Structures are given as C-alpha cells and as structure tokens.
Amino acid sequence: ASVAVALTVLGAGLTSQTEVKADQIDVDKIREGLLQDAINRMPQDRLKNILLGSIHQNSKLEKIIQEKDRDLEELRGAAESERLKKEQELKDLKDAAELQQLKNERHEEAERKEKEAERKALEDKLADKQEHLDGALRYINEKEAERKEKEAEQKKLKEEKQISDASRQGLRRDLDASREAKKQVEKDLANLTAELDKVKEEKQISDASRQGLRRDLDASREAKKQVEKGLANLTAELDKAKEEKQISDASRQGLRRDLDASREAKKQVEKALEEANSKLAALEKLNKELEESKKLTEKEKAELQAKLEAEAKALKE
C-alpha cells in the first residue's frame, strides 16, 4: 500500500510538470513530503529498486515532456508566424481595400465631374438651340404677320375694285339723277331766297322796335340809378341829422319833424324804386317776348308793339 501511494505521488508529480509553473513550487513541496513519508515506511532494498525504477521512468517522462515542450514551442512559433502572416495579409487586404475604395471614389468623382461637364455642355447647347428656335419663331411670326397684312390689302383692293365696278355702272344713273336734283335744288334755292328777303324785311322792322325798346330800357335803368343815388343822399342826410340831433338838444323838436319828413321821403323813394324795378322787370320780360315775336303774325306784332309803347310810356311817366 505504501509503494502504491509513493508511485501515485510520483506520477502526480510528473503530471503536474506540464501544468502552470506558478503552481509548480507548491506541488513539488507536497510531493517531496509525501514521497519522503512513504520512503521512510518502506524496507531499504525494496525502496532502492522502486526508486531506481521510478528515476528511470521519470527520466523517460522528462525527455518526453521536453520533446513535447519543443513540439509545443514549435507549434506556438508556427502559430505565431501564421498569426502574424494572417495579420499582415489582413492588413494588406485592408490597405488594398482602402486603396481600391479610394480609387473607386476618385473614379466616381472623375465620372461625376465628367457628367457635370457633359450636362453643362448639353445645357449650353440646348440654350443655343432654344435661342435659334426663338429667332426662327420670331421670323415665322413676322412673315405670318406680313402675309396676313398682304392678304388684308389684297382683300381690301378686291373690295375696292368691286365697289369701283359697281360705282362705275351706277355712275351714269347717279349723274342723271344729280342733274335732276340740281334743278330741283336751284328751284328750292330761289324760293328760299324769296322767303329770306321777306324775313330780312320783317327783321328790320323788329330791330327798329327793339332799338326803341332798348332806349326805353336804358332810360329806365338810368332812372333807377338816379333813384338809388337820391336814396343814398337821403340816407347820408339822415345820418347827418342823427349826428346833429346828438349835438344840439335845443333843436330836437324841429329835428324830429325833419327826421319824420326824411323818413317819409325815404319811404316814397323806396316805393318809387320798387315800382321802377317792377317796371324794369316787366320791360325785360317784354323784350324777351319781342325776341320771340319773330314767329308771331302781323296782327300779334302790332298788338305787342302797342303794348310795349304803352309800357314804355308808363315807365317814363
């Protein structure tokens, strides 16, 4: 049982050599302690044989472990090399991708600028063509207007020709009718001349009456002015009398009589002025009636003339 324990501890110690080196010191101490304990309890001969076998086995295991470590290091080195290689390849691929992206962006920018230039060239070409088209349309419109104007002129000439032809055909008839009408006009003109002479004669008579009436009207207006002048004089005298009344109380009674007489005279003058204005209005009315008397008969004219003379006589009185 002790030998089994010692071998187990020794195997555990060999196995623990492949684990992490940070735990190796503690495991070795424990293994040495257990191994020393087991050895102390074994017989000496048997212990030597076991130890020699264990040492021999341990050497083989150590060689195997060393070989495995070398293989592991090689594998680690190969893995590290592969990793670095892959990282370089990845970096190269990334640089290539960025470079390709940059090339693509530059290519797209170049294509965009090229398309922009093509678009601008097309727009300029289109504007040029539009300008030529507008010019052509203006030219067409001008020619169309000229054509319509010529058509209108031709239509007008055609209508004038038709009218001229119709006029030429009826010209002879119109000329004959015109000659006949001329004769009738000459006859009517003679009649009108006779009537005009008669009217002139009547107008001379009416003018003579109107001149007399005008003289009477002027005389009436002059009389009205004289009356107004007398009224102004009386008003001035009345004002003077009032002033004298204030100055002299001694002649108050006589002044009162003069004042009453002045007021009475003023009333008479105002009455006369009112009558003169009434007669003047009547005279103007008669003058207007005289203007309209041209359409009256000889009898009515005589009656109107007599009436005017009577009114003029009354006005003079």
Q: How many Å apart are CA 281 and CA 28, to the nearest integer?
A: 167
Q: Render pLDDT for 181-231 as a digit per residue (tens, 0 to 9).
A: 567 756 766 666 666 666 566 666 666 666 665 666 666 567 667 656 766
Residues 86-94, mean pLDDT to the nearest whole number: 87
How much is the CA Rg of the chain, to the nearest whole Å? 79
Helix (H), strand (E) at residue 85: helix 44-247
Q: Where is pLDDT greater, at 14 or 143?
A: 143
Q: Most confidently modeled of 1-15, 51-65, 93-107?
A: 93-107
pTM over 0.85: no
4 pLDDT exceeds 60? no
Write the DSSP assignment of 146-160 as a string of letters: HHHHHHHHHHHHHHH
Residues 286-300, mean pLDDT to the nearest whole number: 62
Q: How many Å apart are CA 40 and CA 43, to the nearest integer?
A: 8
9 pLDDT exceeds 60? no
Contacts for 234-240 with beta carbons within 8 Å, 24 or more apart? 234/262, 234/265, 234/266, 234/269, 235/266, 237/262, 238/262, 238/263, 238/266
Question: Could you give the angle at the alpha carbon of 242 between the alpha carbons of 236 and 246, nearest 5°?
Answer: 145
16 pLDDT exceeds 50? no
Percent of the chain with pLDDT over 70: 43
Q: Most confidently modeled of 63-67, 133-137, 305-309, 310-314?
A: 63-67
For the stretch 27-55, what's the b/e string if a residue is b when 16 or more beta carbons lie within 10 angstroms of its beta carbon? eeeebeebbeebeeeeeeeebeebbeebe
Q: Where is pLDDT greater, at 155 or 29?
A: 155
CB atoms within 10 A of CB 6: 22
